[in-house]
Amino acid sequence: MELPLLEETRCSRCTDCVAVCPTNCLSMRGATPFLIRPTDCISCGLCVLVCPSAALSLAPQ
């Protein structure tokens, strides 16, 4: 199972990852996205693809 990994030094707070997630498992928490329902993540990778600052990657858990 792979979950998104966030590099906080690059996050621009654009919230596109939250918007694009097909299972609504992401949410903003303060200035950065937060994986609020990790068991709903299907590792589709759309958040990674859409991030403008390459702050996200998928990593095996």
Partner 1 sequence: MRHPQLLVYESDDKLASLLRPLAEENKWLLRQPRQMATCVRLFERGGPGVLVLRPSRDLERELDQLERLTWIHPDAAVVLIVDSEQARLGRLAWDLGVRWVLPPPHNRERLSEVVTSLMRPYQATGG
Partner 2 sequence: MSADESSNPPAKRQRRLAKTYRWQAFFERCAEPLFVLDRRRRLRYVNRAWETLTGLAAEQAHVLVCRRSRPVTADDSAEDILAHAMTPPPDVLRGVSGRVRRLLPNRQAAARWWEVEFWPLLQEGEQGGHIILGRIRPMQAVELVRDHALSEKLVNLRQRRLERYGLEAWTSSAPAMRRLVEQVRLASQVNTPVLLVGEVGTGKQTLARTIHAQSARRDGACVVLDCEHLPPAAVAALLAGEGNGHEGLTSIYLREPAFLPRDVQMLLAERLTRGSAEGPRILAGCATPPAQAVREGRLLDELACALGTLILEVPPLRQRVNDLPDLVQRLLERACAGRETRVTNLSADAWTILRSYAWPGNVRELYTVLRDACARANGEQIRVSDLPAALRRAVQREQAPPRSTEGPLPLEQLLEEAERRLIQLALQRAGGRKARAARLLSIPRPRLWRRMVKLGIADTEKESDAEAEE
Rule CB under 8 A: which residues touch partner 2? 8-16, 22, 30-32, 42-46, 49-50, 52-53
- As a whole number of angstroms, the distance between CA 28 and CA 20 comes to 13
For residue 11, give the 3-state DSSP assignment.
coil
**Interface with partner 1, residue 38, by CB under 8 A:** yes
Closest contact distance (angstroms) between CB of 35 and partner 1 is: 4
- As a whole number of angstroms, the distance between CA 17 and CA 15 comes to 5
Binding residues vs partner 1 (CB under 8 A): 3-6, 25, 27-30, 32-40, 56, 61
